[in-house]
Each structure stands twice: as C-alpha cells, then as structure tokens.
Amino acid sequence: MPLRVRLTLWYGSALALVLIVFSVVLYVIIARNLRDAVDQSLEETATTAVRSLEMRGFLPLLDEEELLSQFPELARIDKFFQIFSPSGTITIRSPNIKQHEVPLSRIALETAFKGQTILESATYPNEPPLRLISVPINYRGRLLYIVQVGTSMQSIEDTLDRFLILLLVAVPVALAVSLAAGWFLAGRALRPVDSITLAAQRIAGGDLSQRLTMPPASDEIGRLAGTFNNMIGRLDASFQQIRQFTSDASHELRTPLTVMKGETELVLRKPRPLEDYHSVLESNLEEIDRMSRIVEELLFLSRADMGEVKMETLPVALEALVEDIHRQATLLGQDRQIEVVLGTVTPALVLGDELRLRELLLNLVENAVKYSHPKGKVRVSLVSDGRQAILSVADQGIGIATEDRPKIFNRFFRTDVARAHTKKGTGLGLAICAWIVEVHKGRINVQGEVGHGSTFTVTLPLVPRPS
Ligand SMILES: Nc1ncnc2c1ncn2[C@@H]1O[C@H](COP(=O)(O)OP(=O)(O)O)[C@@H](O)[C@H]1O
Ligand SMILES: [Mg+2]
C-alpha cells in the first residue's frame, strides 16, 4: 500500500476515534446536565409547595382555585401538580393535566409512607415522557397527603434528538473534510520524495555526476537530499579513483613490458654475441623486479583495503628501530655518497606492529636517499613530547612542490621532478606509509620547498604510562 494511502488511513482512523469518543462524551454530559436541571427545578418547586402548605398549618386544601392562588408558582405552564390522599387517590390537580390520568405509582406511595421523596420517570403510549417528584406531607407522624409535581420531558428529548442528528451529520462531514485535507497534505509532503526517487533512478542509471536539486528548506527531506548528494559525491569520487587507479596500474605495468618487448625483439632480430643477450636479460630482470615490486605492493594495498592485513599491537621501542634503520640507510646512501646521520634520538614506546613500523621508516628513508642529490645529507631523528613520538626524516634533495604535497600519498602518484630524477620507484610507497600511520592512529606530514629538500614527519601516540 502506498505511503500516502497508509498515512491518510492512519490519520483518518485516529481522527474518527477521537471524534466518536468526543461526541459520545459530549452527548452524555449534555443529556445528564439537562435532566439534572429538570430534576432540580422540580425539587425547588416541590420544596416551595411544601413550605407553603406548612405555613398553612397543613390544613387540607379545598379546591384547585385556592391551591392556585396559594401557590402561583405551581401553575407555571411547564409544570403540573397533583395532590394524592394517603390511599393514593387524587384529591386535587392542576388544570393543565386534566385530559390525562397520571396515577400515583406504587413505589411512590410506598416511599411516601416511609416519609421520603422520590423522583420518577413515566411514559405513556403516544405521550411525551414525564418526570415526576412525589413529596409526602406528614402531620404528627401521620401521612396527610402526597404532593406530586411533574413536567414533560418533551422539549429536552427534542433538544437531545436534534443534537444527536447534528452530531451524526457533523462528525462524518468533519471526518470526510479532514480525510481530504490529510490526503492532500500527505501528497504534498511526499512529493519531494517522489522527485528524489526519480532523480535517484536517473543516477542509478549510471550518471554519477547528477545531483538532486536541494529543496530550499533544511527539513527532513532537505537533509535526505543532502545526505544522498553526499553519498553520490563520495561514490563518484571513489569510482573515479578506481578508474584512475586501474589506468595508472595498467600504465605502470605496461611501461616495463614495452621496454622488455622492444629489447627482446631487437636482440632476437639477428644472431648476436652472447654479451648482448646477457645485457638484455639483465635489463629484463630489472624490469621484472620492478613489476614484481609493483604487484606485491598493489597486493598489499588491496589486502589492506579489505582489512585482511594482520596487525600486531605490541609495545615497540622506536629508538631501537630508528638506529637499525639508520644502519640500513647508511648502506643505501653509500653509492651516491649520501650521508645518513642520526639527529636527536630519545626513547619512545608506541603500541603497534614492529614490522609495519620498520617498513614505514624504511620507505621514508629510502625516498630521502633516492631523492637526494649526490653528497647530500639525510637526517633521521626521534623526539617525544610526553604524549606523542615524533619521527622525522629530512633530506636536502629535490623537494616537493606545494601543489603536489597532498597528492604524493595517492597511489601511483610521482612528481615529474621525481620521475626525471630517477626511474626507480612505483609511486606506491607513500600510500603504504599513509596506511600504516593511519592504523597506528598517527599522522604523517611533509614540509619543504622545491629544490631545497623535504622533511617527512610522523607522529605516533606513545604507550600511556601507568599513573
Ligand atoms: N624525500 C622526498 N623528496 C622529494 N620527493 C619525494 C620524497 N619522498 C616522496 N617524494 C615524492 O612522492 C612521490 C611518491 O613517493 P612514493 O610513494 O614513495 O613513490 P616512489 O618512491 O616509488 O617514487 C615520489 O614519486 C616523489 O615525487
Ligand atoms: Mg618510495
């Protein structure tokens, strides 16, 4: 069932329930109040009558003229009265009742003998319902007579009937009008959802550059559209990244393959001395090494993406690691007379995976050596500020342009300067470094200027000292 129908039905049912309960309660209260008012007026009239009779010393009344002159209030058009003897027979009654017999009921007589007043309802065929009050008049412990005052309930019943009809008409009309309004409002409220659905269908059709038009209000629908646009934006970005990545990867793998193919074809064209084959095979081996390195690093990154790389979480003494790496880097730099020096090294204990941290540091130092000029200097240092360990690797090499800095952690990104500087490199090392830093809840930054070297800084949280 569509949401609009369901909303309207729910709303309609709730409203119908409220209206019905409200009408019933209203009707009952009004009926009770009207009837109570009649009873009260009957009681007041009867009390007045009894008081007047008392003032007359309970002398029996002679006739109705006398009665009327005694109690003018009894002759009011809407009330009639009768006086019964203790045997229950009528002695006197007001003229406005002459045409009907309204005998004293047995219960009224019995109650009168007990000395109590009684209120009764009486109905006669083809007559309006009556309300009667019967008051006993006692004199010296003996029942003298019974005064009965009565009135027709016709007007009240008429009023109630009219009110009932009004309710029976008004409630369904109100319900119908509200249902129509509810249907209209639900439709209006849901219209943006429809337009979002349509737009989402277009986007799902493949056009990720599409965005939903944002409704002007920042209500639920506005937020939905915003969230949706955000999601599409991120999807768009990651699809683009994947496309970029795939094309970069194929490109990076194609280059060594082309080189290998060209060299191999050339050398095979005619018989050659053994050294030629040897040198081609050596060059091929270099390319193969490069390709295996790319494939291995890619494999690592994709396993990292899928959360499949196992990570230890043990205390690692960074100062020992730094000293170790320093030894390795010194060997790396020897060929090009690059000096790797140790700066300040203070002890620092972090939680993590020693192998990964070693890889991180080695990558940074390798880069520093690789992108240094001959006879350059690379400085590795480690300090701690009480809460974080700060590792830095500084070189005096080619540097990185400001606009390239955010990109160097992307997969396969290599600056043009770096490509011109050396063929060695895959552009994946820093992506791996960024991942390692991230899983260790640290940060990695780079500073420096083109031509004036770069400084990579890694901050890692220290193992909290037991306090
Ligand atoms: N120490 C450095 N000095 C200058 N540029 C650097 C340095 N380290 C990294 N870069 C730049 O960042 C790029 C990405 O580094 P990386 O991912 O390690 O790839 P690779 O070392 O294979 O070139 C490098 O190609 C280079 O342009
Ligand atoms: Mg590298």
The closest of 463, 431, 433, 436 to 309, measured between CA atoms, is 436
Of 264, 287, 305, the residue at which a domain comes to its end is: 305
- Which atom of ligand 1 lies nearest, measured to the CA of 415? 27
CATH number at residue 383: 3.30.565.10
Q: Is 411 in the pocket of ligand 1 (CB under 6 A)?
A: no
Nearest bound ligand to CA 404?
1
- Determine the Cα–Cα distance for residues 451 and 418; give it in Å rounded to an integer: 11
In a domain, 212, yes or no: no
Both 140 and 227 in a single domain?
no
Q: How far is ligand 1, taken at its centre, from the CA of residue 382, in Å?
A: 21
Please check whether residue 450 is in contact with residue 408, taking contact to mean a CB–CB distance below 8 angstroms. no
Both 388 and 259 in a single domain?
no
- The pLDDT tens digits for 94-140 are 777 766 778 888 899 999 999 899 999 988 887 788 999 999 988 77
The Cβ of residue 367 has, within 10 Å, a number of other Cβ atoms equal to: 22
Both 419 and 341 in a single domain?
yes
Both 421 and 391 in a single domain?
yes
Both 297 and 320 in a single domain?
no
Q: What's the total number of domains in the chain?
A: 3
Terminal CA-CA length for the chain: 62
Q: Is 192 in the pocket of ligand 1 (CB under 6 A)?
A: no
Both 287 and 354 in a single domain?
no
- The pLDDT tens digits for 419-441 are 999 888 889 999 999 999 999 99
Both 288 and 385 in a single domain?
no
CATH number at residue 271: 1.10.287.130
CATH number at residue 138: 3.30.450.20
Please give the single-letter amino acid code of residue 123: T
Question: Taking the alpha carbons of 164, 166, 169, 175 in that order, is the dihedral positive or negative?
Answer: negative
In a domain, 57, yes or no: yes
In a domain, 450, yes or no: yes
Both 121 and 139 in a single domain?
yes
Both 421 and 322 in a single domain?
yes
Q: How far is ligand 2, taken at its centre, from the CA of residue 189, in Å?
A: 56
The Cβ of residue 327 has, within 10 Å, a number of other Cβ atoms equal to: 10
Q: Is 371 exposed, middle or buried (0-12, 13-18, 19+ CB in 10 A)?
A: buried
Q: Is 426 in the pocket of ligand 1 (CB under 6 A)?
A: yes
- Give the strands of the sheet with 339-345, arranged side by side: 339-345, 377-384, 388-395, 454-461, 443-448
307-312 contacts at long range (C-beta below 8 A, 24 or more positions apart): 311/352, 311/353, 311/356, 311/439, 312/352, 312/353, 312/354, 312/355
Q: How far is ligand 1, taken at its centre, from the CA of residue 427, in Å?
A: 7
The closest of 68, 209, 214, 56 to 144, measured between CA atoms, is 56
- Which atom of ligand 1 lies nearest, measured to the CA of 424? 22
Both 274 and 398 in a single domain?
no
Both 147 and 251 in a single domain?
no
Q: How far is ligand 2, taken at its centre, from the CA of residue 363, in Å?
A: 5
Residue 33 structural domain: 3-158
Q: Is 425 in the pocket of ligand 1 (CB under 6 A)?
A: yes
Nearest bound ligand to CA 415?
1
- Determine the Cα–Cα distance for residues 31 and 52; give it in Å rounded to an integer: 32
- Determine the Cα–Cα distance for residues 153 and 135; give it in Å rounded to an integer: 20
- Which atom of ligand 1 lies nearest, measured to the CA of 397? 3
Of 275, 305, 335, the residue at which a domain comes to its end is: 305
Nearest bound ligand to CA 434?
1
Q: Is 367 in the pocket of ligand 1 (CB under 6 A)?
A: yes
Of 120, 139, 158, the residue at which a domain comes to its end is: 158
Q: Which residues contact 310 (CB under 8 A, 6 or more apart)?
A: none
In a domain, 273, yes or no: yes
Distances (CA, A) of 58 to 43, 253, 440, 454: 19, 129, 110, 126
Q: How far is ligand 2, taken at its centre, from the CA of residue 371, in Å?
A: 9
In a domain, 145, yes or no: yes
C-alpha neighbours within 13 Å on the C-beta side of residue 18: 9
Tell me the pairing of strands 377-384 and 443-448: unpaired
Ion ligand 2 residue ranges (Cβ < 5 Å): 367, 429
Q: Which residues contact 20 (CB under 8 A, 6 or more apart)?
A: 171
Both 298 and 395 in a single domain?
no
Q: How far is ligand 1, taken at its centre, from the CA of residue 310, in Å?
A: 26
pLDDT tens for the 467 residues of the chain, in order: 888 999 999 999 999 999 999 999 999 999 999 999 999 999 998 888 888 777 776 666 556 666 667 666 655 567 888 888 888 888 887 777 766 778 888 899 999 999 899 999 988 887 788 999 999 988 778 888 898 989 989 889 999 999 999 999 999 999 999 999 999 999 988 888 888 888 888 888 888 888 887 777 778 888 888 888 898 899 888 888 888 888 988 988 998 899 999 999 999 999 999 999 999 999 999 999 999 999 999 999 999 989 898 888 999 999 999 999 999 999 999 989 999 999 999 999 999 999 999 999 999 999 999 999 999 999 999 999 989 999 999 999 999 999 999 999 999 999 999 999 988 888 999 999 999 999 999 999 999 988 899 999 999 999 987 66
Instruction: Give me the phi and psi of 181, to 5 degrees please.
Output: -65, -40
